[in-house]
Structures are given as structure tokens and as C-alpha cells.
Structure 1
Amino acid sequence: MSNIVDPLVRQIAARIRDEREQRRWTLAQLADASGVSRAMINRIERAESSPTAVVLGKLATAFQIRVSALLTPSEDATGGAPDSGREQVTGVRRMADATEWRDPATGYRRRQITGPRFPADIAEVRLPPGARVPYPAASLAFIREVIWVLDGRLTFHEGDAVHELDAGDSIEVDEPVPHVFANTSDAECRYALIITRVERP
């Protein structure tokens, strides 16, 4: 078995540890706040385990930050001085430089489109056939989102309601209820996720 660790797994590990230490939380305190076990958090912070999409959602909720913040280095997400150079000045983000994260449980892939300083969090998601990604209501308490299907078909569960969304369809979600993103088709589904934070759940 290879001991090589994906650089993004190391980056996520450092980001979660930094967020926890900034708040002076113990592993037990973060476990209580997030609902993720202390043992799992410890493995993630040591880069021994890659968190799933659901776990990332729970940890982001505990920290009251966006999931995308856990996918970016600490210095980029905390208001540090921007790097000099044409890319920063023009705001151009090359596809080759984009952060893409893969959920080890489902194969769900998320490519970040906007940077941490942009007021909305925009990501491109690719959901493989048969994949199902649930999020508890608590992970959505301080956000509002738009899901816009770009290719394929998405079955989106919003609480007790089920929405079948085809390419070009979109839905605005304003209530913090349990969500499930499911692909019940035999082809990949690609959608854009646009998220903004709100002051109240």
C-alpha cells in the first residue's frame, strides 16, 4: 500500500486543524459541535483519512464557514495579502489551477470556481451514476443556495419534497431542511452550486 498522501488531503487536514486551534477547541469540543466523532476528526487532521462530503459539511457548519473554505489554504481564506501577478490583477482563474476535490465515499467531484474572498461560493459538481449525497438540516442553517443542472439529471430531495431536475433546470433553496443530491440515472450529472451565507438560520 502506498504511503503517498494526496496534497489536497494534507491541505484539508491543515485547514481543519487551523480552524479548530484558532477557536481553542479540543477535538472533543469540535466533535460535540459537529456531530463527527473525535476519532474521525483526529484521523482527518493527521491526513490519515479523507473526509466525505457529508463530514466536510458538518465540520464547516460547526465552524460557521463555507465548505469551500475547508478546501482552500488558511492564508488564502483569512484575508492575507494577495499574491502579485497578472492572474490576481485580472481575476482570471485557469481551469488547470482550480481545486478539485473527490468524495472518497461516492466519487462526487467538486471544482471550486470562486475564490474565498468572493461574496458567493460557486462550485461545479459532478455526481456519478448511482451516487447519493445527503446533508442534514444543521449543515444548511446559515446558507442559501441555488442548484443549476448543467448536464444530466439530478434528483434533489428538499425535506419531504423530491424534485427531478434536468439540464437547464434550477432551484432556489431558502429553508434549512435535510437535502439529498442523488443521481438515479446511468449517466453523470453535472451541476453548479451557488451558495451565500445569511445571518440567521
Structure 2
Amino acid sequence: MPAKPKAPSPIESSPEAINENLGKRVKKLRGDRGWSLEELATASGVSRSMLSEIEREKANPTLTVTFRIARAFGLTLQELIESAEASASKIQVIRANDRAQVYRSDKQCEIRTLSPINLEKDVEFYELTLRPGGTLRSQPHFEGTREFLTVEEGSVRIESDVNSEELAKGDSGTYRADVPHAIVNTGKGDALVFLVVIYR
């Protein structure tokens, strides 16, 4: 799979813009986890006062400090900086020929993610092509997860636990994804579906 086009490095971006976006990003990540500044300080090894300065966009953190914060959130340094920069962009575009967005490609199916892969999200959007006879079977996701599916081409059967339903071109369906579930191509040609996964 070709490498993802090179994003601007932190050095090529405005330091002021990175600091501002980083502060907002750290504050959001901390809030998403329900952490206090003290808890993030313990997890990262960065002082509470420094974290407060970063979140208020008053500090110019070193790479070492930024790395420690990224590690506390389970991210790489580049992921934290890239996601901070991306969160400031009002428009994000995923090009049709960007092979870095291809999540899986084999004789069963091809899955292309249509949502930014570098951002944490509660919703994921995919384009799924199932080959003739192809099946995408999935283990249960987190409790409360649902999937929404629309058939663009062909016909499929959706299965969720013991339930199943046949869908043709133009049909849509929603189902629990916190149980074993599957999408099965029931036609003679490729089936193209758009899939939205919502985590709760």
C-alpha cells in the first residue's frame, strides 16, 4: 500500500498555531477521558502547572514534554501534533485516490475509510466493496455500538446476532453491532455499501 502523502512537519508549521491547537487538543483529550489536571500530570510525568500553561496556550512545550503528553493518551508524538493541526482546519478532504485510506483489501472485500484516520471519533464512515460471495464478519464492538448501512450497488444480507435481513440497491438498514454481525454479498457481482459505525 503506498505511503500516505507527507503531512507538513511541525517545523514547517507556525509554532504559534501548533501551540494554540495543541493546547485545545490536550484539553479536549483530557476532558474526553474525564481526567483532572492532576491525573494527567501523574500519567504523563508533566507538572500540573505546565499542563495548565499548555492548555491555556501560555507555554511553548519542548518535544520531550509533548512526547510525554502524547504517550499518556496512547498516541505517538506525530499523531498528537497532526491531530491538533487537523482539528483547527475547517475543512478536511479525503481524496478518492488516497490509498492510505484503504483499511483492508483482499479477495473477500475492500474497506475504505471515509473519515479522518488520525482523529479520535465517535462515528466512523466506510465505503465497503464485497466481492461475489464475499462476507465481512465482525466480532462484537463496544456495548451500545450500532451500524447504519446503505446499499449503493448489488444486494447484501445483514446479520446481527440471530436476526437477518435482505437488502437491495437503495435499501438501508441499522442493527446492533455489539453482538456478532456480518454483511454478506448475496448477488452475482460486486456489492457496494456505505457503512456508518456509531459508538456510544
AA matched with 2:190? E
RMSD: 3.0
Match of residue 144 from structure 1 = 146
Match of residue 13 from structure 1 = none
Of the structure 1 ranges 146-155 and 75-84, higher mean CA displacement relative to structure 2 is found in: 75-84
AA matched with 1:187? G
Distance (Å, rounded) in 2 between the aligned partners of 1:143 and 1:189 = 24
Q: How many matched pairs?
A: 125
Structure 2 segments unaligned to the other structure (5+ residues):
4-75
1:132 paired with 2:135, answer: yes
- By how many angstroms is 1:142 displaced? 4.8
Distance (Å, rounded) in 1 between the aligned partners of 2:184 and 2:142 = 17
Match of residue 92 from structure 2 = 91
Query: Which of 1 and 2 has greater Rg?
Result: 2
Match of residue 181 from structure 1 = 183
- On the 8 A contact 1:133/1:181 being kept in 2, the answer is yes
* Closer, same or farther: CA 135–93 of 1 in aligned 2, 3 Å: closer
- By how many angstroms is 1:190 displaced? 0.5
- By how many angstroms is 1:93 displaced? 2.2
Matches within 5 A, 1:44-83: 75-76=78-79, 80-82=83-85
Alpha-carbon displacement from aligned partner over 1:141-180 (angstroms, at most 9, x marks no partner): 3522101111110111122222111111111123622112
- On the 8 A contact 1:154/1:182 being kept in 2, the answer is yes
- By how many angstroms is 1:89 displaced? 4.6
* Closer, same or farther: CA 124–90 of 1 in aligned 2, 3 Å: same
For the residue of structure 1 that corresponds to 2:195, the secondary structure is strand
- On the 8 A contact 1:77/1:117 being kept in 2, the answer is no
Of 142, 160, 166, which residue of structure 2 is paired with 1:164?
A: 166
Match of residue 120 from structure 1 = 123
**Aligned sequence identity (%):** 22
Distance (Å, rounded) in 1 between the aligned partners of 2:171 and 2:80 = 31
Distance (Å, rounded) in 1 between the aligned partners of 2:130 and 2:165 = 16
Match of residue 111 from structure 2 = 110
Q: TM-score, normalised by structure 2?
A: 0.52
- On the 8 A contact 2:148/2:174 being kept in 1, the answer is yes
Structure 1 segments unaligned to the other structure (5+ residues):
1-5, 9-72
- By how many angstroms is 1:92 displaced? 2.4
Distance (Å, rounded) in 1 between the aligned partners of 2:102 and 2:180 = 25
